[in-house]
Amino acid sequence: MNAKLTILGCGSARPTYQNSPSGQVLDLCDKSFLIDCGEGVQISMARLGVRTSRLYNIFISHLHGDHCFGLIGLLSTLSMQHRQQPMHIYAHADLERLLRPWLTYFGEEYTYEIVFHPIHPNRHEVIFEDRTVMVESIPLKHTVPCCGFLFSEIHRQPDGEGGFVRVPHRRYAYCSDTRYTETLVERVRGVDMLYHESTFLSEHAHLCKNVMHSTAAQAATIAQKAEVGQLLLGHYSARVDDHELFLNEAQPIFPNSRLSHEGETIEF
C-alpha cells in the first residue's frame, strides 16, 4: 500500500485566507501520524474528511504558534468524540509544561489519556519505533529548538541466522522550520519525498538570516544534493500570493519539485 500525505496547512506564521499554518497527516502502514498542528488544523481535517479517530500519534517540530496552536482544540474535540485510545505526543519538553495547565482546566473529563514524550531537538535519534514504522528526529537550525522528522516504513527480512534485520523501505522527511543547512543532506539522503520549508523567494533571501527560514531555491539545493525522489515546498510567507513563483525558483535546481496545496493528498 502506498504512503499518503495530506496537506492540512502550508502557510507560515500569519494565517491568510489562502493558507492555514502547518499541519500534515501521513498515512503509513495503516497508521495516521499528525505532523505539526497549527491553528485550524482540525477544521482542515473536518473539511477534508480526515477521520480524527484514526489519528495514531502526534509529532510537533517546535514551539512556535504556527506549529502547535491547534493542539488544545484538537485534543478537546477528540474527547468530545469519546476517544479511548491514549494519544502520544512527541515534542520539546516545554510543550507538556505549557499544555498541562490548560488540560487540567479544560480537560478534567477527557475520555482518554494524553502521553507526552519529550524529544531533544538537537539530537538525531530514534524517537518512535514499532514493528512497521520508525521515526527519527532531524535537528534543524531555527530561532528556537526545532527538529524535523524522518518516517521510515520498515520491512523485516530474515538475516540468515534465524533472526531478522530491519530494512527501511518507503521514507518521508519533514523539515520545517529551518535556515539553509547542509548537515541536512546526509540525514535525508535518498528519501522518497522531502518536505523542506520554503518560506521566501530569492528576492527576500536577506530576511532568512534573522528569522532562520529558507528560500525555495535553498530547499531545492538540499533536495538536489541529497538526491531525494521528490521535493515538496511549503510554509509560504504571507507576503507572496502567487505560489507558482516558489516553484519557478525551485525547479531549475531540482526538477522534481512540487508545491504543497492545502487539501491535497499525495501518494508515494
Cα angle 191, 242, 233 (rounded to 5 degrees) comes to 10
Q: Smaller CB distance to Zn ion: residue 177 or 249?
A: 177
Residue matched to cell numbers 482518554: 112
User: Min. distance of Cβ 160 from Zn ion in angstroms?
Assistant: 46
Residue matched to cell numbers 507558482: 244
Query: Are the CB atoms for 201 and 219 separated by under 8 Å?
Result: no
- 108's CB contacts (< 8 A; 6+ apart) are none
Q: Smaller CB distance to Zn ion: residue 103 or 205?
A: 205
Which residues sit opposite 55 in a β-bridge?
32
Q: Contact with Zn ion (CB under 5 A): which of 64, 170, 171, 196?
A: 64
Exposure of 205 in the CB half-sphere (CA atoms within 13 A): 10
User: Min. distance of Cβ 226 from Zn ion in angstroms?
Assistant: 22
**Taking CB under 5 A as the rule, does residue 66 contact Zn ion?**
yes
Q: Smaller CB distance to Zn ion: residue 199 or 221?
A: 199
User: Min. distance of Cβ 36 from Zn ion in angstroms?
Assistant: 8
List 27, 30, 36, 66, catalytic entry: 66
66 included as an active-site residue? yes
Residue 235, number of CB atoms within 10 A of its CB: 29
Query: Are the CB atoms for 195 and 149 separated by under 8 Å?
Result: no
Residue nearest to Zn ion (CB): 64
Q: Smaller CB distance to Zn ion: residue 152 or 199?
A: 199
- The residues in 168-187 that bind Zn ion, with binding defined as CB under 5 A, are 177
Chain positions contacting Zn ion, by CB under 5 A? 64, 66, 177
User: What is the set of active-site residues?
Assistant: 66
